[in-house]
């Protein structure tokens, strides 16, 4: 069985990255309209070229949405950079145990007794003669 594929010009993510959000949303709307038309053509028994185009349009919609979400997250990262509190999804991904671990400053703290002991009895290093 031979199948012929008609490739539609794919939308590349690198071309989308330079566009403004309004342009991306407009393109997304156009792609969704095109997809609905292709689905109608599928039901009414359209040409094979239209059926193969459905997949390409779906992937293009996914690319546009991905670029929108990535730029949105990037802008949020810029906005919250240097702020004390950040949304949970912008914080570094750590395990629960790692989040509860002491930070460097807390680990280095010593009681008065420990400070005195470390000052009086320093670690002695010996050179071994071979």
* pLDDT higher than threshold 60 for residue 123: yes
Predicted local confidence at residue 6, as pLDDT? 44
Does a structural domain hold residue 1?
A: no
Give the CA-trace dihedral at 47, 50, 54, 57, to 10 degrees.
180
Does a structural domain hold residue 110?
A: no
Does a structural domain hold residue 121?
A: no
Does a structural domain hold residue 129?
A: no
Does a structural domain hold residue 48?
A: yes
Which pair of tokens denotes residue 26?
A: 């407009």
Q: What is the Rg, in whole angstroms, of the alpha carbon atoms belonging to the chain?
A: 30
Does a structural domain hold residue 51?
A: yes
The percent of residues above 70 in pLDDT, for the chain, comes to 93
Angle between helix axes 21-43 and 48-80 (nearest 10 degrees) is 150
Predicted local confidence at residue 8, as pLDDT? 54
pLDDT in tens, 2-51: 444 444 568 899 999 999 999 999 999 999 999 999 999 999 987 888 88
Average pLDDT of the chain? Answer: 91
Does a structural domain hold residue 97?
A: no
Which pair of tokens denotes residue 104?
A: 């460097």
Does a structural domain hold residue 101?
A: no
* pLDDT higher than threshold 70 for residue 117: yes
Predicted local confidence at residue 5, as pLDDT? 44
Predicted local confidence at residue 3, as pLDDT? 45
CATH number at residue 50: 1.10.287
Of 52, 51, 14, 10, the closest CA to residue 31 belongs to 10
Collect all residues with Cβ–Cβ distance below 8 Å to 53 and sequence separation of at least 6.
6, 8, 38
- In whole angstroms, give the CA distance from residue 38 to residue 54: 6
Total of domains in the chain: 1
């Amino acid at each position: 069985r031979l199948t012929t594929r008609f490739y539609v010009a794919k939308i590349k993510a690198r071309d989308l990255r330079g566009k403004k959000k309004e342009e991306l949303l407009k393109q997304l709307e156009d792609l969704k309209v095109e997809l609905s038309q292709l689905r109608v053509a599928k039901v009414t028994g359209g040409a094979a070229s239209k059926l193969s185009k459905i997949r390409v349009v779906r992937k293009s919609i996914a690319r546009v949405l991905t670029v929108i979400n990535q730029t949105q997250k990037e802008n949020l990262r810029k906005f919250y950079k240097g702020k004390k509190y950040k949304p949970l999804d912008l914080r570094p991904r750590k395990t629960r145990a790692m989040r509860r671990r002491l930070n460097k400053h807390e680990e280095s703290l010593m009681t008065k007794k420990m400070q005195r002991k470390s000052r009086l009895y320093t670690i002695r290093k010996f050179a071994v003669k071979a």
